């Protein structure tokens, strides 16, 4: 089964040249059905 994780958010540039992506909305697409994806981790991801 193929699972597609769709992430939409705002990319934030840190003061130290580091980039962070704020995940405002995250959804998991399974078998053509869009379902909400709950993030238990920190809302900011360091790229």
Q: What is the pLDDT of residues 1-35, one digit of tens each?
A: 455 555 555 555 556 655 554 444 555 555 666 55
C-alpha to C-alpha distance for 2 and 26, rounded to whole angstroms: 17
Global confidence as pTM = 0.19
The answer to whether residue 44 sits within a structural domain is: no
Residue with tokens 């993030």: 39
Report the pLDDT value the prediction gives residue 23, as an integer from 0 to 100. 46
Number of domains in the chain: 1
Return the closest-CA partner of residue 27 out of 14, 39, 19.
Answer: 39
Question: Which range marks the domain in which residue 32 is found?
Answer: 3-39
The answer to whether residue 24 sits within a structural domain is: yes
Chain CA centroid to CA 5, Å: 8
The answer to whether residue 34 sits within a structural domain is: yes
Beta strands in the chain (DSSP E): 3-13, 19-30, 33-36, 44-46
What sign does the dihedral 27-5-8-17 (CA atoms) show?
A: positive
């Amino acid at each position: 089964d193929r699972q597609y994780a769709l992430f939409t958010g705002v990319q934030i540039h840190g003061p130290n040249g580091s980039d962070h992506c704020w995940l405002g909305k995250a959804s998991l697409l399974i078998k053509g059905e869009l379902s909400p994806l709950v993030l238990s981790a920190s809302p900011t991801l360091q790229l």
